[in-house]
A and B are shown apart, each in its own frame.
Chain A
Amino acid sequence: MSPPDARPPQHPTSAAERADAAGGRQVRGTIFDIQSYSIHDGPGIRTTVFLKGCPLRCEWCQNPESQAREPQLMAGRTADEPPTTVGSVVTAGEVFDRVAVDALFYTRSGGGVTVSGGEPLTQPAFAAAILELCRGAGFHTAVDTSGHATWRTVARVLTHADLVLYDLKHLDVDWHRKVTGVTNRRILENAVRIRHELGVPMSVRIPLVPGVNDGDNLTATARFIAEQLGTDTPVHVLPYHRLGVGKAQGLGWELDDPGYTPPTDDEVAAALSTLTRHGLRAVVGGR
């Protein structure tokens, strides 16, 4: 047997699609990572593309290097390790070519691409172009988003998505502003409209930060999902971890450590039970 063909699979076939895709290949954007064998960001084996830039400033942010739009320097983890540049400007076509390398692995596993961030909706043309190219090649497409964008932007990008991984951080508007820097008004509205107007399958992701969004807020969140999005919406509980703290220091941020602690096993179990009590299918960790 000869080694398999590693080249990208067939491109879209109709003339119009070809023209679009050809134009789409040239769209430029900023990414800070591409991760292959990504298994917790949608079905099957995936490649996750991390777009750089985020309007939110979550206090527990686990990828602080994703917040600024422009490439930047990050110090090494130890004094010996040289600093590295985080982020690079690339075209959608280049991203697609990287994603398409693993086409063989998507086929058997039912996987594909996940566009994540940062907040991918801050680069809508770029995100849409990547998704369109990937979908044209037959890959499953997913977007991991906070939903903090205009409806026009949301609709423009998610039209090309087979799945949206939608983050819900807090139901209370003031709390939301306090811990993320922005209100949740558009986030909640968009969630409902995605479900009802676009009909894109959705999984909700809740970063569980003890003392911030557990307790009563989680009950409110559960009720919102069950009533507004439907109990058939899978919920992924993502326990907070402290990896982001070290990275923020690497970026030279003068931030105080927000002092959050990862939830205990009991706290995670309590969160799951709150969610399942509302008829939701909740699991720990991304799927």
Chain B
Amino acid sequence: MTVSTTTPTTPMTSRVARMIDDLCISSFPLCIEQFGLVCDSLDETVGQPMVLRRARLHAHVLDHISIFIEEGDLLCGSGASKPFGMEIQYEYGVWTPDEVQSLKGEHYSISPEDEAELYRLNQRFAEQPANSTLVDALTRELATDERMWPFMKSGVILPPWKDKKTASGGGYAMSGYGLGPGFFLVCIDFERILRDGAQAVVDEARGYLQSPPDGVATQDQVDYWTAVVIVFEAWVRFAERYAALAQSMAAAEGDPARAAELREIAQICRRVPRHPARTFREALQAFWFTFLMACPSPTATAGRFDQFMYPYYRDDVEAGTLTEEAALELLEILRVKVMKINRVSGKANRAKNAGMAKWHNWTIGGRNADGSDATNDLTYLLLEAARVTRLPHHTLTLRVHDGTPPELMVKAMEVVRTGIGMPAFIGDDSYVEFFTRGGVSPEDAHNYCATGCVDGNIPAVTRTQVVTFFVLPQALDVFLHNGFCRYTGEQVGIETGDVATMRTFEELKTAFFRQLYYLMELGCTRNNVELLAERDLFPDAFRSALMRDGVRSGKDMLARTFSFENASLLCAVGGVNTGDSLAAVKSLVFDTGRYTMADLMAALDADWVGFEEMRRDFLAAPKYGNNDDAVDDLIAEVYRFYADSCYSMGNAYGGTLTPNAISITAHQPAGAVTGATPDGRKGGDILADASLSPEHGKDTSGLTAVLWSAMKVDQDPYQGTLMNMKVHPSSLRTEDDLAKLGSFVQTYLTHGGKHIQFNVVSREDLEEAKFLPEAHRDLVVRVAGYSAYFTQLPDTIQDEVICRTEQH
């Protein structure tokens, strides 16, 4: 290992420092150029099969969208027609004037001309009967169903829909040159582009058009292969546009050094992505072009970047054509580039994931299929690039196993110590078990990566389409009210009985699980409606071709059933509040008989007002996070029931619903719709964050007790779980301290733990940043599966981060 594991080695180059300075802008432009191009193309292709319409509009955008190369940049490709821009995504709902106004009140801007043009385009899009957005499609199905419509509004899933006209509200704008809609959790086959080049994909598709792999081809297959050729050829032309631009900029450049850089860029863009990459630099450019085509998803992943990039790095270093410093600078530039790939959504969805959330996740480290450790020099360099630049994106996720080198853990903790909240740590054991249990070969399972925040997927082999947040405490509330939703004042669940008449805790728990199961089935149905709508509306030949057998199958990835089918996720929010509530009910109503269920219901309906002493008792009941079986066992049971239930429900692509338990920042809007709960929480208050973090301030038995509580939950059936922990800077001063926290993490992740991440900033610093945001604009904190600038978070989430118990 040549890379230093601890002391700062390389200061940032002046190029990178300048690029980072340029990141400080006051507002992000909302762009309409792509929407205009899309409308033009859609008008031209009415009547054609959707896969071809989409390929043609994709090609049209790649051929015509404005491109530019920014000052000092070494990597080509930005995500929109303007620097820092976000292009309107036609796939989602419409940007209404009301939504645009609300955006302008935040960190976004749109020119008056563009705004006027946007409304004209909205109209033009809507007037074409062949066009449909996802929101239109969902509304058609869900708003007309008498079981589903009360459920969509209930707040059991997020966001609660408001009315049939505006549904969940708002559209999306994002950067990147891929097709929407975003939020697919999939890692496409970067390796194939690096190794074979885009031309190989075109040739393969053409080959099947000439002679189909199965002798005969269906018309759908012919359309699909045609679409693949259209898109990949357009993509090659897109790179050539950059080559031409760089060439002409070089000719006009006064600085000979910069001119040489531009000529090199031109050369590289003529080579990749069309042909196989030969050097680290070419591989990086090919990767970046591919990544941009995986965006505009805010959840795009780079997979196991340190693994597939390593051969290029190693060969160049051995040949003496690349230094560690030069590679580090490129990796730092890559972070700057990712910083500019943004997205924004309508008001309702902004609350679910605050702070310009995005999950551009690079997975590093971990095990090889033969069990050996996969760490390499790039693993360290990627950590170093994060440490030096202190930028919140891209996210780094470190795979940890029994044989992860302690020095890598120390290096990772050095990055954690900067307070930027990364890397996140995930456990190979639990993830591999999740996949192999579902029939994935051990070899594939060992190649898993984090897509989204911590949701496991296997590159090119599995993909997740729909993730719906399911608010467990709201389901509990519906149960406590016999199927009635206090938030909407409507019956949403089934009648499971009056809780005041239930005689044992077992009876109550069984009835709750019956209600929960019913509501989860509605959630599953909602997901299936979306899965089918996406299959019809949004075929994407680019991403589909870069799945395993993606060209040969002749099918869009949404029309395939994969051998491990996890298209549909139901993501539990507030599991800890639910378990804490059940434990309080068990202890204070059924075990000690101190209160009756009727007393409790009166208190909950009064939001504890007038029941203060009673509330103190319920707050004092056993709470998760203290290694107390009385409550931990109930949390474990809730999570077990939830997972088992998911696996008993079907998804529309084949296979089952998959359980997940991450909350992003959904615990805030979820708390806002949920009335008072038996854990002593007041109505509207925020829920416990993540899925395995204790309620705020309720873990008073130290760091290890929190992990012991979490280790009692069987996390293996979950595609992801989240554990946020805040540690005080004083416990990360020395290298010894780093090694100890590293060992702590490694112990958790080799004994059933799936994920853990840290915020390292003192309470005083956070409080000051809240009141003096101007002085703390660079303060980065970990929110959920992503990091964000603290001062860009809404008040409630700021308070939530401040309140997460600080462990010394």
Contact = CB atoms under 8 A, between A and B. Distances in A.
B737 A4 contact: no
A220 to B, nearest CB: 27
Contacts of B736: 39, 287
Contacts of A107: 747
A1 B430 CA distance: 7
B695 interface: no
Nearest to A37: B703
A13 interface: no
Interface string B732-776: 011011011101101100011000000000000000000000000
Residue in B430, B714, B733, B744 whose Cβ sees the most chain A Cβ within 10 Å: B744
Contacts of B708: 6, 101
Size bracket of the A interface: 20 to 34
B705 interface: yes
14 contacts: A1-B751, A3-B751, A3-B752, A6-B708, A37-B744, A37-B807, A44-B743, A101-B627, A101-B704, A105-B704, A105-B744, A109-B739, A109-B740, A109-B743
**What are the 10 tightest A-B residue pairs by CB atom distance, in nearest-first order?**
A36-B702, A109-B743, A37-B703, A4-B751, A36-B704, A39-B740, A108-B743, A102-B704, A3-B711, A108-B747
B712 A3 contact: yes
Interface in A215-236: none
Given A3-B711, A101-B704, 8 more contacts: A1-B751, A2-B714, A4-B752, A36-B704, A39-B731, A102-B704, A108-B746, A111-B740
A161 interface: no
Contacts of B433: 1
B240 interface: no
Residue in A6, A101, A104 whose Cβ sees the most chain B Cβ within 10 Å: A104
Nearest to B727: A37
B716 interface: yes
Interface string A101-140: 1101101110100000000000000000000000000000
Interface in B91-122: none
A3 to B, nearest CB: 5
B743 A45 contact: yes
A285 interface: yes
A46 to B, nearest CB: 9
Nearest to A43: B736
A4 B627 CA distance: 13
Contacts of A285: 733-734
A35 interface: yes
Interface of A: 1-4, 6, 35-37, 39, 44-45, 101-102, 104-105, 107-109, 111, 283, 285, 287
B10 interface: no
B751 A104 contact: yes
B54 to A, nearest CB: 42
B321 interface: no
B488 interface: no
Contacts of B712: 3
Contacts, number: 69
B697 to A, nearest CB: 14
Describe B's contact surface by its main secondary structure.
helix
Contacts of B733: 285
Size bracket of the B interface: 20 to 34
A81 to B, nearest CB: 14
Residue in B702, B740, B741, B743 whose Cβ sees the most chain A Cβ within 10 Å: B740
B429 interface: yes
Contacts of A109: 739-740, 743-744, 747
A104 B747 contact: yes
Nearest to A283: B734
Contact of B747 (A1, A39, A105, A283): A105
A89 to B, nearest CB: 20
Nearest to A4: B751
A237 B571 CA distance: 49
A4 B704 contact: no
A45 B711 CA distance: 18
Contacts of B739: 109
A246 B483 CA distance: 52
Contacts of B716: 1
B707 to A, nearest CB: 8
Given A1-B430, A3-B714, A37-B703, A287 B734 contact: yes
A43 to B, nearest CB: 8
Contacts of A6: 627, 708, 711
B701 interface: yes
Contacts of B741: 39
Interface in B789-808: 807
A39 B737 contact: yes
B751 A44 contact: no
Nearest to B708: A6
A287 to B, nearest CB: 6
A45 B702 contact: no
A78 to B, nearest CB: 16
B711 A35 contact: no
B711 A4 contact: yes
A1 B714 CA distance: 8
Contacts of A37: 702-704, 744, 807
A28 B250 CA distance: 83
A3 B740 CA distance: 22
Nearest to B710: A3
A36 B701 contact: yes
Residue in B733, B743, B752 whose Cβ sees the most chain A Cβ within 10 Å: B743
B261 to A, nearest CB: 44
A20 B708 CA distance: 30
Contacts of B711: 3-4, 6
A8 to B, nearest CB: 13
A46 B636 CA distance: 27
Interface in B420-440: 429-430, 433
Interface string B705-725: 100100111101000000000
B728 to A, nearest CB: 11
